[in-house]
Amino acid sequence: MARRVALRARSRQGTAPQLSRASHCRATASAAEERPLDEANWRRKHKYAVKLAYDGGNFAGFQLQAGVVSPRRTVQGELERCLTQLTGAERAVLGVGGVGRTDKGVHACAQWVHFWAEAPLRAGGRKLMGGLNGLMDADVRCHDVKEVPPQFHARRSALQKEYRYYIDTGPHLDPLRRHTALHLHQHLDMGALSEACARFEGMHDFSAFANSIRDRSARQTTKVRTIAQCTAEPTESGVVIVVRSPGFLYRQVRNMVGTLVRCGSGKVGPEEVTRLLEGQVPRSRAPKAAPAHGLVLHDVTYPSFVWDMDYCAKRGDDVYREILELKGIDVSFESDSNDSEVGQGATLRPV
6 belongs to a structural domain = no
Burial of 221 (0-12, 13-18, 19+ CB in 10 A): exposed
Domain count, the chain: 2
Residue 182: domain span: 160-297
Supply the CATH number for residue 94's domain: 3.30.70.580
Question: Please, what is the angle between helix 190-200 and helix 252-264, to 10°?
Answer: 150
**Do 165 and 292 lie in a common domain?**
yes
Q: Which of 38, 55, 103, 189 is the catalytic position? A: 103
- Asked if 299 is an active-site residue, the reply is no
7 belongs to a structural domain = no
- Spans of the chain, pLDDT less than 70: 1-37, 66-70, 214-220, 331-351
**Do 241 and 262 lie in a common domain?**
yes
Domain end among 95, 126, 148: 148
pLDDT the model gives residue 239: 98
* Contacts of 181-184 spanning 24+ positions with Cβ under 8 A: 181/237, 181/238, 181/293, 181/294, 182/261, 182/290, 182/291, 182/293, 182/294, 184/238, 184/261, 184/265
pLDDT the model gives residue 41: 82
200 belongs to a structural domain = yes
pLDDT the model gives residue 234: 97
pLDDT the model gives residue 70: 59
Tell me the pTM.
0.82
**Do 287 and 171 lie in a common domain?**
yes
pLDDT the model gives residue 67: 63
Domain end among 117, 148, 179: 148
Residues 73, 140: contact at Cβ < 8 Å? no
pLDDT the model gives residue 94: 95
